[in-house]
Structure 1
Amino acid sequence: MQNSRIDRLRRKMGFQNGYIVPPNGLAGGLSLWWDESINVDVAFSSENLIDTKVHGLSDGSYCRVSWIYGTPYREQKPAFWGWLGSQLCATNDPWLCGGDMNEFIWHFEKAGGVAASHSRPRHLLEFATKAELIDLGFSGPSFTWRGTRNTHFVQERIDRGLANAAWQTRWPDTTVLHCPVIGSDHWPIFISTTQKGKFGKRQFKFEPSWANDPECREVIERAWSSSLSGPWMSQWQKNLHTFRNHLTDWSKRKFKNNKIEIDSLVDQLNLMQHSWEENTENISRIKTKLNDLWRKEECYWQQRSRIKWLQNGDSNTSFFHQATIQRRRQNKIVRIKGENGYWEQSQKGVRRAF
């Protein structure tokens, strides 16, 4: 993908800043994006690594974050992991390493194909031990990549997050979520350091798209035709309240809630991807439906937002890209599969499952 296209996509997704490692020919290339809440200094970059120093502007926090793309070629792994170990050394500063390692650690992190040998080199484990990094664990599906090797369906956990003790002391609620696969052969990983707070009560807004529906005028006329007694201003306020309620009820019946439908489809996709081979057709169908709903959602927020949304990005649109809510990791169950087969992530849902 050309740099100009990447920049347009970055701005469209609400990130004001970015750093690109150009691809080597038609393959490879890395891109890192961040918003204006932090300063990011790139200390080193290559086709396999973006090593950064991050400063939080609101709380004055400082940390090191290293984004890794491990070589997928077996013959290159010893040299690559040896080089990475010399490039990324243990530090007393809070430090997070994340990305596509193209390497799993334990034999149970692979399913299908030729069984992993217990005597094989564990390059990632040796690197993590030397760098004093600890695996952050995960919630979600057990694997992060799936593909076919010699006609065998194979799944592996090769994407992960690692952190040192200083990071886990500073951000003890860090969680790693394996998100559903949509347009890749990898499960995206979502690393969060905080639990997302609740939004306040939503303010009523007249949506421009309502005016395009012929029924909208009828709903408004019915709402304002009510015969009321009392002072003129009191009647006006009551009619305004009725108008708002009628329009809201009509909108709920007329237009489906894309967010609810998206969340439902993502849950279905997540469940089916635990048995990928058995659900190939259904997975493809749900992906197509999700892409259509996301296009509708994007148009909806473009219509509501300022023109600058496409030009410069807007930090207020970040919620559009957040598919799930992170939960505290320590001493808590963050996800549980209910009797209906769906994953429960909310605190109420987890309690209800018991």
Structure 2
Amino acid sequence: MGWNPLVVNVIVIDMSDQVVHCLIHFVREDKRTYVSIVYAKNYYIHRRDLWDNLCKHTIFVGNHPWVIMGFFNVSLNLEDSTAGGSNVTLAMREFQECVDHMRMSDVSQSGLHFTWNQRPNASEGILKKIDRIMANDIFINEFLNAHAVFLSYRIYDHSPAVLKIPTLYNSNIKSFKFLISLFIKRLRLELDQAQIWLDSDPFSNDAREEHCHLLHAYNSAVIDEERFLQQKSKIEWLHVGDNNTSFFHKVVKGKQHRNHILTVEDNMGNIVEGRDVPACFVSHFTNFLGNSSNSTPIDIPVLAAKIKSAIFDIGNNKSLGPDGYTTEFFMSTWNIIGDDIVRVVQDFFSKPITD
């Protein structure tokens, strides 16, 4: 192996005949992640030593980013093989239990799904996904733009796997979620001070009023944050516990990671990456859809009852757009704004699309 020490430092922590555990330090960004490189044995009983090693390494890694990549020699899911079959084998179940114990999931990927082939000629041969790149939630949160690429295997039986970590990506735009969290953090500090004041002077009316005011503001802000994250995560409300914020943060991060498109192939077969991806999409759909000069309005009538039915069929807590208003808002105020919404929708479908 070789690497540029000015860019990364690699420390080998431990190794066995099936896995090498490393710590990688990205020098310029001062970020670190654990990486385990796997080359599993053929017989499933021999792989049990590997699963045991990985589970024990979970304790060592703790709450730090961790990636596991390489040749696992067994499929994780039924859809990872073209050989058919509807039953999970013992080897697959043991692999699944290990992955669940480590709380790993596949890194967002592009390229081939099946990473191993056994002479895929004519009607014969088998394709399987037995090479993977997986990471824990902490890695996904820390390296949100990381993605795996599985290249063509060509004359070989395995697909080369590449983990790309664009650590230099930086955005100066602060999200609405960031502003909410910052506001809650400030309220939390103010509430702490108010409770200290109340504790030192429990009979002070000013202290009691200040505490009551801040407690109400804090609870409202926490509820607003949960509602925002719930809308963004696009899942139904969970009736468990008093605060689901950490859960929704996890779901949002996971969805962003899975849905983030970092690599595409243009019409000429060229691979486009990074900040050139949006321009590639614009170019493709411009060529595909053409300009607006020849567009025509839809001549099928859009009935008011159909519009209302479509909106009322959406879940109460679903967000209709970037303004954040939920369907519940439109339902509860339909007698006031319903006619306006119908006119806007009908007007949209009655005119040609213009620039």
Which category of TM-score, normalised to the shorter sequence, fits these structures? 0.3 to 0.5
Q: TM-score under structure 2 normalisation?
A: 0.47
Q: TM-score under structure 1 normalisation?
A: 0.47
Please identify which structure carries the higher helix content.
2
Structure index of larger Rg: 2
If asked which structure has higher relative contact order (CA below 8 Å, sep 6+), I would say 1
